Amino acid sequence: MPDSRNILLVGCGKMGGAMLRGWLARGIDSADVRVVEPFEAAAEELRSELSVPVVSAATDLDPGFAPDIVVFAVKPQGMDDIVPSYAGRLIADAVVLSIAAGRNIGFFEKHLGRDVAIVRTMPNTPAAVGRGITAACANDGVSADQRSVCQSLLEAIGEVVWVEDESLIDPVTAVSGSGPAYVFLMIECLARAGKAQGLPPDTAEKLARATVAGSGELARVSDESAETLRVNVTSPGGTTAAALEVLMEEEGLGRLMDRAVDAATRRSRELAG
């Protein structure tokens, strides 16, 4: 993690909170962090649990505090009102790191200035347990050092990949940003199918959850491709092969996933304008 970098975290909901806890767990001094959180109940909880300085608005920050990194972790619909208030002194020498979906680099350059260093990211919800993956894209103003700092901060919630073409954030959103919902739907469907075959509901749910979670962990730690792992499970003429004949039909799971990711990609582009 970066040494003695001043971090300003704007918004500390689920994703911002996961990042903050990850930073502190990795050794960042809470005295180097400032949090802007307008909801007083949430702010008081942060002060009590994590001992970090929390204010309700940018105007309440100590005038002497000069952030090296400004992280925007607020909901996209609040960005239009919030971001402009940070133009000027607060971001003069900082890199801006955004984790808000649907707000592109151009949005931040419009409100903060075209010469501001900006990193746009797309994390996903497994960040809450430190197993997320974040895709990041930097504008031309981001230095190698700032890129390294952002990498370290993002690694507190999981893996990081960089894309040079910002337009690729849209398919990233469709694959990994929205992807956890597809996996949770898989658990729902698998459990429901088990119940239809006579399994008790709680047993079917437990089997489905553990199977998906365990398979994901195996895929994470294995050097083999997903295809190879699938083949390893599939005995010719066996039960798995019978099921895969259905799932791999022409209009089966592969085709459905193509359509789903295409729909999410198109919607991401619409939201980004």
What architecture does CATH give domain 177-272? Orthogonal Bundle (1.10)
Looking at residue 219, what is its pLDDT?
97
Decide if 157 contacts 14 (C-beta within 8 A).
Answer: no
Domain boundaries, the chain: 7-166, 177-272
Fold of 7-166: Rossmann fold (3.40.50)
- For 220-226, what is the mean pLDDT? 97
- Predicted local confidence at residue 119, as pLDDT: 98
Average predicted confidence (pLDDT) for the chain? 93
pLDDT category of residue 3 using cuts at 50, 70 and 90: low
Whole-number pLDDT of residue 90: 84
Q: Please determine, for residue 2, whether its predicted confidence score (pLDDT) is greater than 60.
A: no
pTM, entire model: 0.90
Beta bridge partners of 55: 36
Residue 12 CA, distance from chain mean position:
14
Cβ of 181: how many Cβ atoms within 10 Å?
13
Query: What number of other Cβ atoms are within 10 A of residue 25's Cβ?
Result: 11
How far, in Å, CA of 56 to CA of 40, rounded? 7
Give the Cα separation of 99 and 92 in Å (integer): 20
